[in-house]
Amino acid sequence: MANRSTRRGGTPASLALNAPSLSSSSNLAPPPATHAKWNVSAEEWERKAPLTDLQLRSITKVKAASEKTTIPLKFAVEPPDPSTPIPTRPNLANKLLHSRPGTPARSGTPKHSQDLHPSHPVQTPQQFYDWYALIDRSVAHSQESHYRAHVASLDEHLSVCRLVEERIEQVEHQVDEMMEGWIGVEEGGKSLKGACERLLEERDGLLAVMEEIGGHLEYFQELEHATRMLNHPGESLIFQADFLYMVERVDICIEFLKTHRHYREAEVYLLRFQQCMTRAMILIKMNFVGSLRALSSEISKRLADKDISPTAQHHLLYTRFKSVAGRIAPLLEELERRSASYPDELSALLAECHQAYFSTRKALLVPRIMEEIRGLDPGKSDLVELTREGCGYLKQLCKEEWSLYREFFTAGEDLLYQFLETLCDLLYDDLRPRILHEPRLTVLCEVCTVLQALMILDASAATPSSALFAETGNPDDSEASDDESNANNERADELSLDLASSRKVNKGNKVGKRLHISHLLKMVLQDAQTRLFFKAQAVIQSEIRHYVPKPEDLKWPDILTAASKFSGAEIREKESTSQIFTNVAALQHKETWYPTLRVTVWVLSQLHDFVKPEIFEDIAQEALSYCRISLVAASDNIRTRSQLDGCLFLVRHLLILKEVIGSLDELRMREEGPASGLSDWSKDGRKIGGTSPRQPDLSSTMRGALSGGGVTETLANMLNRTTSLLPEGLFASLGVTRGLENDMRGVKQDIDHSLRQGCEDAIAACAHSICGPLEGWSASLGPTPGSDPSAAAPANLQGLKDETPEVHRRFLEAVQRDLKDGVWRVRLYLGDERTAKVLVEHIVARVSDAYERWSDSVRVMFKEQLPGDLDVLNSARLSELLRDATGANGA
């Protein structure tokens, strides 16, 4: 414990015990005060300086190694130094475990204590100083002895380390000498290996050169074999097994020589190989042309027999040719391949083969086709039947020709289509004049239906689950024609895309597996569609724009009450088979429609499936514009006889016209997809739901026309809008054109404007007959309705008071008579109870407003002192009266 209590640089404990006595006997200054020292506890040290697991393990290993260190024997026992005052020496282990030994023990041997005592009594200061110096040296020696011992041990360890270092340097020197020897051996081995590898590479290079020379010589040696084979006499040469192999080898040699023109005599050999290739292809061409001529001569003689059956004709025209194709087809395929590789030399040979084939087939088929066309009697038969039978026959013929051509050739699709077009022109020359001079619109539509049906059947032939064959089973069935027309409309775009894609895929003019008959029928279909377009324009001009109404067309509401079927004298063609207006609720009562509206719907139904969308939209815009104008003119004619009937006539037909437009928009949205929305209502970029200060909001009108409520929501939204009360000049100042515009948006705005004006006129006409007595009495008060009646002349005032009961009585009679009749007419014209209710509510509101203004004037006139014979109705009684008159209570 004495060692642990010793502080570094402090005074030994034994000296500290004698310090008071020394200071009392001398004038030494007192020892300086000890400085305060901040102690850190072990817990705080561990918290502020934590150690990692690796550090803790390292400390543990160091501690364990220090505890087990063996001490050399020479340090185990050390004789005591006579001059050292410490009687006992600490263990050497303590010296190694601690940085410095503890304070010497105060207890010592009596002998050592006696050595420090003066031998004689101290009598003089000098003797005391000598004795004190002796004590001081003893203490200093005892404090420094363990340092000297530690330095001595370090010197011994350093000497041992120097000895070990010398031995290590000797070993390292020996290892370096061994390394130099190993490197020398390694470099010698690498040199030997490199020399061996170079010798092997030289040998392999010589062998490769020898093989390459031998391989290249084979290309030159092939010329002799090819020349010898081509010089072999006989026409059977091209059918030998080695012929095509020889052609392939010649082709390989040509390609080789083209890439190695620097070889000696390469140009000469290249020319001779090309001559061999040309000779081989000429042999194939000559054999093919000769076979066709012989076969054509034989078949022509057989077909000249008048008693030959159709089965025998088919056998001669197709089966015999297919039997020849089995042998010659591989050779023709080889010719096609070589002509594609060497077009300058061999394309003419392939063209001669195509020309010989097509001329042979045309010579055999044209008489037969002309005979079939004469059998169809194109001068007398119906155009639709002629189109159906003639195109059906040509379709089957073209398929057979397509299949036969593919037995011989794999390329030349463009030439094949040209050949088939020449065959089809034999029938089209008779069809085109009749189509261009056909006056009936339905016949033209049926012709387009037949042509599109053939195209659709051709496009759907690859799908075994197609149901189009069942739809065209009965050509005379109108329902089948409906399905056919709808299918045509849905598949028209697919046909053109399928044709275009098939033509692009067949790179190198390869012949596809299937014939696209739409490519052959396209020209006739375009002629029919062109004629259909011009005929539709003529019908629109004659039957809509310039239509002159007959007296029976203006007999309204007799037409509705009679509900007789329309005779259809103006339209003598069959009704449309299209189903695009199935959502129009009033379609089932179309016999009561005005003729121009019927013609408009009929023409649009006919054209929708057979013309392009852009053309159809232009025609629809024109037809709808002229139809609206004709309806307004007819309404004006009817108003000369009955104002209310003329207004209701216009409202009825314009609502139907809006349903027609809604059906067209809905159909277009289905075709274009949901992304198109209702953007067509505003082609300037604004959606229908947006608002703009320069145009009326038509969103609710459009939504009403397309929703389940139909015309009811349309009429309600339109009558509740303030734009119906704006004058024409204000519309023009807002930038809204009220006349005929060049797009569908202008047509729809014109229809909306006419419909709003018609509704306003109908409401005013119905309310005028009821509110006429009240308004006439109010007009007698003066120009200002709100003026004080007492300001009038006394005679006039008294006369008005006397007339008041009679005016009220006539108003009540008009309510019971004219209001009931007007509501009945509204319901008769509009048909739907919900739609009629919208208009009736506005009529009732206008009558109620007029009566309330009149009652206010009466109360002011009589100063709330009404006479006994005048019973002015309050709001509740007036509402009850009007509900009874309109039948709202029963509803």
Residues 6+ apart with CB under 8 A from 757: 724
The pLDDT of residue 754 is: 94
> How far, CA to CA in Å, does 39 sit from each of 7, 373, 459?
14, 126, 101
Contact 13, 19 (CB under 8 A): no
The pLDDT of residue 810 is: 87
Contact 666, 710 (CB under 8 A): no
The pLDDT of residue 76 is: 47
| Cα gap 521→503, rounded to integer Å | 16
Share of the chain above pLDDT 90, in %: 33
pLDDT per residue as tens digits for the range 836-858: 899 999 999 999 998 888 888 88
Confidence band (pLDDT; 50, 70, 90) for 151? confident
| Cα gap 479→471, rounded to integer Å | 9
Q: Which secondary structure element, helix H or strand E, spans residue 286, and what is its range?
A: helix 266-303
**Of the candidates 864, 769, 744, the residue with the CA atom closest to the CA atom of residue 820:** 769
pLDDT per residue as tens digits for the range 634-675: 999 999 999 999 999 999 999 999 989 988 888 888 777 654
> How far, CA to CA in Å, does 334 sit from each of 246, 356, 433, 563?
12, 18, 45, 77
Residues 6+ apart with CB under 8 A from 760: 724, 725
pLDDT per residue as tens digits for the range 380-398: 668 888 888 888 899 999 9
Supply the mean pLDDT for the chain: 76
740 versus 335: the higher-pLDDT residue is 335
Q: pTM here?
A: 0.59
Confidence band (pLDDT; 50, 70, 90) for 227? very high
| Cα gap 414→396, rounded to integer Å | 19
How large is the average pLDDT for residues 762-788? 74
Confidence band (pLDDT; 50, 70, 90) for 800? confident
Start-end of H helices in 68-124: 92-97, 110-116
Measured on CA atoms in the order 840, 843, 849, 855, is the torsion positive or negative? negative
Share of the chain above pLDDT 70, in %: 70
Q: Specify the range with the lowest mean pLDDT, choosing from 76-85, 181-190, 471-480.
A: 471-480
392 versus 465: the higher-pLDDT residue is 392
Confidence band (pLDDT; 50, 70, 90) for 538? very high
What secondary structure letter does DSSP report for 88?
S
Confidence band (pLDDT; 50, 70, 90) for 460? low
The pLDDT of residue 689 is: 35
855 versus 742: the higher-pLDDT residue is 855
Location of structure tokens 């506890």: 41
Confidence band (pLDDT; 50, 70, 90) for 351? very high
Q: Which secondary structure element, helix H or strand E, spans residue 768, and what is its range?
A: helix 744-779
Helix and strand numbers (H, E) in the chain are 29, 0
| Cα gap 695→733, rounded to integer Å | 11
The pLDDT of residue 459 is: 67
Confidence band (pLDDT; 50, 70, 90) for 730? very low
pLDDT per residue as tens digits for the range 115-150: 677 778 888 988 888 888 888 888 887 778 888 888
19 versus 542: the higher-pLDDT residue is 542
The pLDDT of residue 736 is: 43
Q: Which residues pair with 695 in a beta bridge?
A: 692
| Cα gap 649→639, rounded to integer Å | 9
Above 90 in pLDDT, residue 353? yes
Above 70 in pLDDT, residue 536? yes
Torsion angle defined by CA atoms of residues 518, 523, 527 and 532, in that order, rounded to the nearest 10 degrees: 20
Above 80 in pLDDT, residue 374? yes
Above 50 in pLDDT, residue 724? no
Token couple for 665? 């928009």
Token couple for 261? 């023109």
Taking residue 230's Cβ as centre, other Cβ atoms within 10 Å add up to 17
Measured on CA atoms in the order 704, 710, 714, 720, is the torsion positive or negative? negative
| Cα gap 361→422, rounded to integer Å | 12
**Of the candidates 606, 633, 632, the residue with the CA atom closest to the CA atom of residue 540:** 606
Token couple for 731? 């519309």
Contact 90, 146 (CB under 8 A): yes
Taking residue 877's Cβ as centre, other Cβ atoms within 10 Å add up to 11
Token couple for 291? 């076979």
Above 90 in pLDDT, residue 80? no
| Cα gap 274→256, rounded to integer Å | 12
Contact 530, 446 (CB under 8 A): no
- Residues present in the chain in total: 891
| Cα gap 317→312, rounded to integer Å | 9
pLDDT per residue as tens digits for the range 280-292: 999 999 999 999 9
Confidence band (pLDDT; 50, 70, 90) for 304? confident
Under DSSP, is residue 510 helix (H, G, I), strand (E, B) or coil? Answer: strand
Torsion angle defined by CA atoms of residues 538, 543, 547 and 553, in that order, rounded to the nearest 10 degrees: 180
Confidence band (pLDDT; 50, 70, 90) for 509? low
How large is the average pLDDT for residues 218-234? 87
Location of structure tokens 């014979």: 869
